[in-house]
Amino acid sequence: MTAYLDYAGLGKLRQPAVTAMRDALVDVLPHGSAEIGRIFPARRRARALAADLLACSTDEIALVTNTSTGLHLVADGLDWRPGDEVVVFDRDFPANVHPWRARGARLVWVPMRDGGYRLEDVEAAIGPATRLVAVSHVNFATGFRIDLDAVCALAHRAGALVSVDAVQSLGVLPLSMADTPVDFLAAGAHKWLCGPVGTGIFFCRREHLPRLRLPGGWFGFQGANDMLTKGAGHFRYDLSPLPTAARAEGGMYDVLGMVGLAETLAEVSEVGIAAIADRVRRLTQRLCAGLRNAGCAISASTEDDAWSGIVGFSHPAVESVALATELVASGIHVSHPDGLVRAAPHYWTGEAEVDALVAAITLRVH
């Protein structure tokens, strides 16, 4: 492979996670309950690191399997009323539309314009019946990044909640729950966090925990483990649900995935999200300049207030799916969602990989 530029599709599992997961698979899991206690702390570590990344409390974090699971915790957990409306966004990823449709809410659409969304359109979509605004921080195809602070201000002014699909930003762009007052957030860890497939993060602001009917497996109750660790007299069914988001995590979980997730989150913390964003910004600027010189059209604004790690583009001389297919066949891994070629470099991407993509396109179209 000459270049890997598809972190928006699937991140490359980082070596610290590979090593830790391999060690657990070889040295722990083959020994069953005799050794598994060695890796149980990984989930607690992952939760703490996720809370640190989002600048929130560990009580507000649940570790889930993917973005869809997290969004469904909100859609299935709220007490919907007849006539409730949910503001959704044209050409958003289906995972952020289907959950609200399934609950019977009336969907009010914000149109996409020039690859992005305008705040005046968001404001126009919010009305007296708006219960929730379901927004993606970054559009999966064009790469447009919306101003979440402004969206929250518009929604909260109308008494509406804000639920964010952050799968295309968490791990590459700074996002603080202490500064940006979103109510709910979900993000799979398999893209920009470069974590194991089947792991993810869900955030629920503390004051909303009582209003969500979160599913609770047997381990979602206070003192659930006492019957296994404290001897006779602790086997009870009348336990209170955990007062934290973790009550949604249920019973036995992917312990191997948690080992890997903890390592990937630790690496992001060590490098620093600001440093990651700064490097990716420079890489995408380099990429956009080269693509424009090759005659490509960039699908969305790349200004400071709208850029992301995703660069969606097209060229008038060649169909996008065909171009992306040719690039992948040549060893330059990109993708082609929604009729665009999508390139998504990360902190660990080399300048030579970006230049290889530009050179291949230049050669193809000239």
How would DSSP label each residue in 174-235?
A: ---TTTS--SEEEEESSSTT---TT-EEEEE-GGGGGGS-----GGGBTTTTHHHHS-TT--
One-letter amino acid at 148 equals L
Say whether both 7 and 21 belong to one domain.
no
Domains of the chain: total: 2
Say whether both 52 and 7 belong to one domain.
no
Q: Assign residue 348 the CATH number of its domain.
A: 3.90.1150.10
Say whether both 144 and 243 belong to one domain.
yes
Of the candidates 289, 78, 249, 55, the one whose C-alpha atom is nearest the C-alpha of residue 163 is 78
pTM as predicted: 0.96
Say whether both 192 and 279 belong to one domain.
no
Tokens of 218: 């047997």
DSSP reduced 3-state for 265: helix
Say whether both 296 and 257 belong to one domain.
no
pLDDT (tens digit, 0 to 9) for every residue of the chain, 366 residues total? 999 999 999 999 999 999 999 999 999 999 999 999 999 999 999 999 999 999 999 999 999 999 999 999 999 999 999 999 999 999 999 999 999 998 989 999 999 999 999 999 999 999 999 999 999 999 999 999 999 999 999 999 999 999 999 999 999 999 999 999 999 999 999 999 999 999 999 999 999 999 999 887 888 888 888 888 888 888 888 888 889 999 999 888 999 999 999 999 999 999 999 999 999 999 999 999 999 999 999 999 999 999 999 999 999 999 999 999 999 999 999 999 999 999 999 999 999 999 999 999 999 988
Say whether both 24 and 93 belong to one domain.
yes
Point out the domain boundary residue: 270, 300, 326. 270
Point out the domain boundary residue: 270, 293, 320. 270
Contact of 119 with 126, CB cutoff 8 Å? no
Domain span at residue 254 reads 15-270
Which positions ≥6 away from 149 have C-beta within 8 Å? 179, 180, 181
Q: How far is CA 238 from CA 110, 234, 246, 248, in A?
A: 46, 11, 19, 18
Say whether both 210 and 342 belong to one domain.
no
What whole-number distance in Å separates Cα of residue 181 and Cα of residue 167?
A: 18
